[in-house]
Chain A
Amino acid sequence: MIPMMFFISVICFVITELQPGDFISQYLDNPRISPAQIELLRKNLGLDEPAHVRYWNWIKGIVTRGDFGYSFAFQRPVGELIWERMGWTVFVALGAIVFQWILAVPMGIYSALHPYSFGDYSLTVVGFIGLSIPDFFLALILMYLMLQMGATSVGGLFSPQFVGAPFSLAKLVDLLKHLWIPLIVVGMSGLAGLMRVMRGNMLDVISSPFVTSLRAHGLDEKTVKRHAIKNALNPMVSIAGTELPNVFSGTIIAAIVLNLPTMGPFFYNALLNHDQYLVMTFLMFIAIITQIGNLFADIALAVLDPRIRMS
């Protein structure tokens, strides 16, 4: 894990370093700023030092002080900035995952119990369409439909009058009115995959000997189904762990289109601004979440499935 993190940090650094220009380049075309001032700015931000020195300082800051660097554009520590946007990002991502699972699991079960029926095919096609719509386009369509239906404030998580307002019931209602678009947009792309996996698992389980033996024991069909569903859900846990980072990064583009207060637009602007430390830390952060997600999936699987624990 630790050496992995080291290599991940190197990759993050190299990627940002390869970007042509740096944060100061945007001032180069500005006639009001003299070359001497630019040199001074570079020096102040520490951009005049060679790459390996900057990398070393960055890592040293993280390890010794928990300091992820300094955002040039916001003039504040990167850690703080990311932390501020973390809440909504996690909220939207988790919401999208819940949305996916609530739909995908029953759809998969239905498909598996009625294989090759009309319902099975229609669900498959719907799932595939969800898989094939670019998320930003789905966001555009939904916003357009909302506008056509007479909505005035689409995009964002709140109507303008609620943005700074203290928490209240009205604010919650307003949030729910806005939230469904991001949840659908972010959740849609993973829906088909989840559904197909669930369908496959369920088909495997339904035809396995233990289900036959349950039936042979005279259990009613409802109980048999319950046992089968439990067993089919087990392997899904390993997906859940890897899903969080995927959904997390899936929110990036949707958030830019829908204007959500999450990390997506933030990361995008940082990329355009050459806000190096912000980009690096964000990439690092997502890689860490992926690692943790995998670990979590392994552990959860072992907890849930005694067969894996034993071996």
Chain B
Amino acid sequence: MQTTKSRIAKNFFKHKLGVIGLIALSIMYLLVIFSDFIAPYSYVTSHRNFVYAPPSKIRFFDEEGNWRGPFVYGMKKVRNPVTYRLEFSEDTSRPVPVKFFVRGEEYRFWGIFKTDLHLFGVEESSDVAMVLLFGGDRFGRDLFSRVLIGGKVSMTVGLVGTLISVFIGAIVGALSGFYGGTVDVVIQRFIELLRSFPRIPLWLALATILPPQWPSTWVYFGIVIVLSLIGWMGVARVVRGMVLSLREKEFILAARVSGVSNMKIITRHLIPNTISYLIVVSTLSIPGMILGESAISFLGLGIKEPMTSWGLLLKQAQSLSELEAHPWLMVPGIFIIVAVLSFNFVGDALRDAVDPYRAVEKV
């Protein structure tokens, strides 16, 4: 077993894109896990002086060119003499240093203990100066903090959804392949039936079933279930095919002769033998789920304010005038791309490593 594992690992690390993807994913998950601490502001607090503030420029040298460490200038609003629009401009008389480990808003770290320590930030009141890496949104909330918190949803929705769909798919597929006959026919017809709906309309239709008054955690699980309800069919097909060939093997015969129950054969002998394929399939199905969640939330059918996800964050960039005036609202999209791309790279590398003969086609 160890040799197989090391062979797979070796093949995987040969795949450069896969390794890059793995590194990117690790960074993103670290950001998400420590998001409360890394985020300089709370994701719900609005700062009325920083409505639609552009991303702050972090400077190291002041006007005279002297080094003063990282700092931002305070912001003041100036009316544009031509368009009469309020615009932000830097108040160069007011440099505010950006410090690490500053005390800011209180929050509950991982929901366990209260603290007000943030990785970085400014000590000035938020009326005067803020450090907004990605700018502010229409309520003056810090987009960077919201992207991190939104990552909690976007980066886990695929994982949890895939876990559920692989679980359902493995069991249904194993049952179908192991028993064969009528059970198999019924299950296969059923899968075919569900597969005749393309995913997007079905996702949207199922997402509207979630009652609007649900609290955000429920909505989150609702979305996960919607996503996984549609994802399991592909897994079931692959597992069925593998079980069909596995059940003729001697070790299954041996298990039967020794009087092991059918359920136990399936859960202890058949499914574990498909595990490496299941891992590949899972990795390959995560990107679809992340994209699905972002599309559902983008259309306003998924995660609801004040909770957020990357798709929902992009919703505010939907109108063209907003987009033109505040292009930084598109930043969350970059996170979606990086996350999905990384999962695709990792999945592809894993498939090449685990399954050189391509038994698993894209699910």
- Interface, chain A (partner B; CB < 8 A): 4, 7-8, 11, 15-16, 18-20, 124-125, 128-129, 131-137, 140-141, 143-144, 147-148, 154-155, 193, 200, 245-246, 248-250, 252-253, 256-257, 267-268, 271-272, 279, 282-283, 286-287, 290-291
- Point out the residue from B198, B209, B333 that lies within 8 Å of A246, measured CB to CB: B198
Instruction: Enumerate 9 A-B pairs (CB-CB under 8 Å) in ascending A order.
Output: A124-B17, A137-B337, A141-B333, A143-B320, A144-B330, A193-B362, A249-B199, A267-B201, A287-B196
| B301 nearest in chain A by CB position | A271
Q: Flag if B200 contacts A132 (CB, 8 Å).
A: no
Interface residue total, chain B, C-beta cutoff 8 A: 45
Question: A191 to nearest B CB, angstroms?
Answer: 13
User: Which residues from chain A contact B324 at a C-beta distance below 8 Å?
Assistant: 144, 147-148
Q: Flag if A132 contacts B299 (CB, 8 Å).
A: no
User: Which residues from chain B contact A148 at a C-beta distance below 8 Å?
Assistant: 324
Given contacts A134-B295, A144-B324, contact A250 B200 (CB under 8 A): yes
Kindly state the separation between the CA atoms of A218 and B301 in the bound complex, as whole angstroms: 62
- Point out the residue from A133, A147, A249, A256 that lies within 8 Å of B299, measured CB to CB: A256
Question: A147 to nearest B CB, angstroms?
Answer: 5
Question: B156 to nearest A CB, angstroms?
Answer: 18
Q: Flag if B197 contacts A154 (CB, 8 Å).
A: no
Query: Which A-B residue pairs are the 3 nearest by beta carbons?
Result: A249-B198, A132-B340, A137-B333
B12 within 8 A of A: no
User: Which residues from chain B contact A19 at a C-beta distance below 8 Å?
Assistant: 208-209
- Which of B84-92, B98-106, B144-152, B311-319 lies at the interface? B311-319
Given contacts A279-B205, A283-B205, contact A253 B196 (CB under 8 A): no
Q: Flag if A15 contacts B295 (CB, 8 Å).
A: no
Kindly state the separation between the CA atoms of A271 and B336 in the bound complex, as whole angstroms: 26
Given contacts A125-B17, A129-B341, A272-B208, contact A286 B323 (CB under 8 A): no
Q: Flag if A283 contacts B197 (CB, 8 Å).
A: yes
Q: Flag if A8 contacts B212 (CB, 8 Å).
A: no
| A280 nearest in chain B by CB position | B205
Q: Flag if A268 contacts B337 (CB, 8 Å).
A: no
| B295 nearest in chain A by CB position | A253
User: Which residues from chain B contact A272 at a C-beta distance below 8 Å?
Assistant: 208
Q: Flag if A140 contacts B311 (CB, 8 Å).
A: no
- Point out the residue from B194, B196, B318, B337 that lies within 8 Å of A133, measured CB to CB: B337
Q: State the main secondary structure of chain A at its contact with B.
A: helix
User: Which residues from chain B contact A131 at a C-beta distance below 8 Å?
Assistant: 287, 340, 344
Question: B138 to nearest A CB, angstroms?
Answer: 16
**What is the 8 Å Cβ interface bit string for chain B, positions 339-357, against chain A (1 contact, 0 not)?**
0110011001000000000
Q: Flag if A128 contacts B323 (CB, 8 Å).
A: no
| A279 nearest in chain B by CB position | B205
Q: Flag if B299 contacts A253 (CB, 8 Å).
A: yes
| A196 nearest in chain B by CB position | B362
Given contacts A144-B324, A256-B299, contact A282 B201 (CB under 8 A): yes
Given contacts A147-B320, A155-B320, A283-B205, contact A290 B198 (CB under 8 A): yes
Q: Flag if B320 contacts A154 (CB, 8 Å).
A: yes
Q: Flag if B208 contacts A4 (CB, 8 Å).
A: no
B185 within 8 A of A: no
Kindly state the separation between the CA atoms of A134 and B287 in the bound complex, as whole angstroms: 10
Contacts A15-B206, A20-B211, A133-B337 known; 16 new A-B pairs at CB < 8 A: A15-B205, A20-B212, A128-B17, A128-B345, A132-B337, A134-B333, A136-B314, A137-B314, A144-B327, A148-B324, A249-B199, A249-B200, A253-B295, A253-B298, A267-B201, A271-B204
User: Which residues from chain B contact A279 at a C-beta distance below 8 Å?
Assistant: 205
User: Which residues from chain A contact B295 at a C-beta distance below 8 Å?
Assistant: 134-136, 253
Q: Flag if A4 contacts B196 (CB, 8 Å).
A: yes
Given contacts A4-B193, A19-B208, A144-B330, contact A253 B200 (CB under 8 A): yes
Kindly state the separation between the CA atoms of A224 and B311 in the bound complex, as whole angstroms: 48
Given contacts A8-B196, A125-B17, A144-B327, contact A134 B205 (CB under 8 A): no
Q: Flag if A286 contacts B314 (CB, 8 Å).
A: no
User: Which residues from chain B contact A290 at a C-beta distance below 8 Å?
Assistant: 195-198
Question: B256 to nearest A CB, angstroms?
Answer: 34
Question: B211 to nearest A CB, angstroms?
Answer: 5
| A256 nearest in chain B by CB position | B299
Kindly state the separation between the CA atoms of A272 and B207 in the bound complex, as whole angstroms: 11
**What is the 8 Å Cβ interface bit string for chain B, positions 275-300, against chain A (1 contact, 0 not)?**
00000000000010001001100110
Q: Flag if B333 contacts A252 (CB, 8 Å).
A: no
User: Which residues from chain B contact A283 at a C-beta distance below 8 Å?
Assistant: 197, 201-202, 205
| B207 nearest in chain A by CB position | A271
A-facing residues in B202-223 (Cβ within 8 Å): 202, 204-206, 208-209, 211-212
Question: A130 to nearest B CB, angstroms?
Answer: 10
Question: B102 to nearest A CB, angstroms?
Answer: 33
User: Which residues from chain A contact B314 at a C-beta distance below 8 Å?
Assistant: 134, 136-137, 140
Kindly state the separation between the CA atoms of A15 and B197 in the bound complex, as whole angstroms: 12
Kindly state the separation between the CA atoms of A270 and B324 in the bound complex, as whole angstroms: 29
Q: Flag if A252 contacts B204 (CB, 8 Å).
A: yes
- Point out the residue from B17, B200, B333 that lies within 8 Å of A140, measured CB to CB: B333
| B288 nearest in chain A by CB position | A131
User: Which residues from chain A contact B317 at a C-beta distance below 8 Å?
Assistant: 140
Question: B5 to nearest A CB, angstroms?
Answer: 26
User: Which residues from chain B contact A267 at a C-beta distance below 8 Å?
Assistant: 201, 204
Q: Flag if A11 contacts B193 (CB, 8 Å).
A: yes
Kindly state the separation between the CA atoms of A112 and B314 in the bound complex, as whole angstroms: 37
Kindly state the separation between the CA atoms of A256 and B193 in the bound complex, as whole angstroms: 27
- Point out the residue from A4, A18, A135, A200 that lies within 8 Å of B209, measured CB to CB: A18
Given contacts A143-B320, A154-B320, contact A291 B330 (CB under 8 A): no
User: Which residues from chain B contact A4 at a C-beta distance below 8 Å?
Assistant: 192-193, 196
| A141 nearest in chain B by CB position | B330
Q: Flag if B344 contacts A128 (CB, 8 Å).
A: yes
Kindly state the separation between the CA atoms of A200 and B299 in the bound complex, as whole angstroms: 36
| A154 nearest in chain B by CB position | B320
Q: Flag if B205 contacts A16 (CB, 8 Å).
A: yes
Kindly state the separation between the CA atoms of A18 and B205 in the bound complex, as whole angstroms: 10
Q: Flag if B197 contacts A134 (CB, 8 Å).
A: no
User: Which residues from chain B contact A136 at a C-beta distance below 8 Å?
Assistant: 295, 298, 314
